[in-house]
């Protein structure tokens, strides 16, 4: 008997014996199989993509397509760390996959991956649902990050972490008035960041209670800015820590 002749319950039972990579391969067979694989894989809500495993695959574009079409719609958290020197095509496929398929994402972590203005423009599609964003050590610039953060209204971010982005001077705070929900902000080891640039921003970020500016060369000169006008912003953040299913 052909598999396609079986009823839904029988196919679900058969598919339960396949592992993660086998389900991904089956998801590409036909639309019916994709829906069955999505039902089996939807228990994976937090997913970490293993760069080393993916880049070693001969047909990694097909693999990434299967990952995002099968997991993307139900993912709540995604994490990826590539490296400053990485396959640019692979990076673009990941960015496009996230933007197209991960429409319910709440947590996004991308570290040690150079993200330019074009990448950020694509990822801006996720800001409608994102609540926690970590773009640590992504070689961000003020222009790129500023345009990205201003592109969504309202901005739903509760926590934002951009540690280790040494090119950030603080100009991205200018005209960023949509951070009403932001509670924690990690700017650690952005050594050139001018804390004074945050003054007007802090007037709009009314829920901000914690900030980490460890390593800022400007902190001592402007350390009172977080107590100005009755503000009560503590030093140091405690960002959410999740467990991830890791594959590649």
**For 37-58, how does the pLDDT look when each residue is reduced to its tens digit (9 = 90+)?**
999 999 999 999 999 889 889 8
Q: Are residues 56 and 39 in the same domain?
A: no
State how beta strands 234-235 and 245-247 pair: unpaired
Question: CB count, 10 Å around CB of 41?
Answer: 20
86 and 34 belong to one structural domain: no
Interior/surface letters 9-25, b for 16+ CB within 10 angstroms, e for the rest: eebeeebeeeeeeebbe
User: Does one domain contain both 13 and 65?
Assistant: no
Q: Which range of residues forms the domain containing residue 137?
A: 45-246
Residues near 142 by Cβ (< 8 Å), separated by ≥ 6?
A: 167, 168, 169, 170, 171, 172
Q: What is the pTM of this model?
A: 0.94
220 preceded by a cis bond (ω within 30 of 0) = no
* pLDDT attached to residue 153: 82
Report the pLDDT value the prediction gives residue 228, as an integer from 0 to 100. Answer: 79
**Number of domains the chain is built from:** 2
User: What is the average pLDDT across 13-27?
Assistant: 89
245: which strand partners? 47
**Same domain? 178 vs 157:** yes
- Phi, psi of 108, rounded to the nearest 5 degrees: -135, 125
35 with 50, same domain?
Answer: no
Residues 102 and 167 in one domain: yes
Q: What is the pLDDT of residue 1?
A: 53
Does residue 1 sit in the same domain as residue 120?
Answer: no
Strand order across the beta sheet in which 77-81 lies? 234-235, 210-212, 184-186, 159-161, 132-134, 107-111, 77-81, 46-49, 245-247
Give residue 54's pLDDT: 93
Q: Are residues 8 and 83 in the same domain?
A: no
Both 87 and 135 in a single domain?
A: yes
| Residues 6 or more apart in contact with residue 19 via CB below 8 angstroms | none
| Contact yes or no for 186/239 (Cβ under 8 A) | yes
């Amino acid at each position: 008997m052909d598999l396609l002749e079986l009823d839904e319950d029988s196919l679900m039972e058969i598919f339960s014996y396949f592992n993660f990579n086998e389900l991904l391969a089956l998801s590409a067979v036909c639309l019916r199989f994709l829906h069955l694989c999505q039902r089996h894989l939807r228990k994976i809500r937090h997913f970490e993509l293993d760069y080393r495993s993916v880049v070693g695959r001969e047909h990694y574009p097909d693999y990434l397509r299967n990952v995002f079409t099968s997991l993307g719609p139900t993912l709540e958290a995604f994490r990826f760390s590539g490296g400053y020197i990485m396959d640019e095509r692979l990076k673009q496929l990941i960015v496009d996959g996230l933007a197209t398929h991960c429409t319910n994402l709440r947590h996004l972590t991308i570290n040690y991956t150079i993200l330019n203005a074009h990448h950020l423009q694509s990822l801006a599609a996720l800001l409608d649902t994102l609540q926690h964003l970590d773009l640590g050590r992504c070689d961000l610039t003020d222009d790129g990050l500023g345009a990205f953060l201003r592109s969504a209204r309202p901005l739903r971010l509760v926590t934002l972490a951009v540690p280790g982005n040494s090119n950030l001077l603080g100009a991205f705070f200018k005209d960023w008035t949509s951070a009403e929900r932001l509670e924690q902000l990690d700017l650690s080891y952005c050594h050139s960041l001018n804390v004074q640039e945050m003054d007007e921003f802090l007037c709009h970020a009314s829920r901000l209670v914690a900030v980490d500016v460890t390593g800022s060369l400007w902190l001592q000169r402007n350390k009172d800015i977080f107590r100005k006008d009755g503000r009560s912003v503590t030093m140091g953040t405690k960002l959410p820590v999740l467990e991830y299913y890791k594959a590649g």
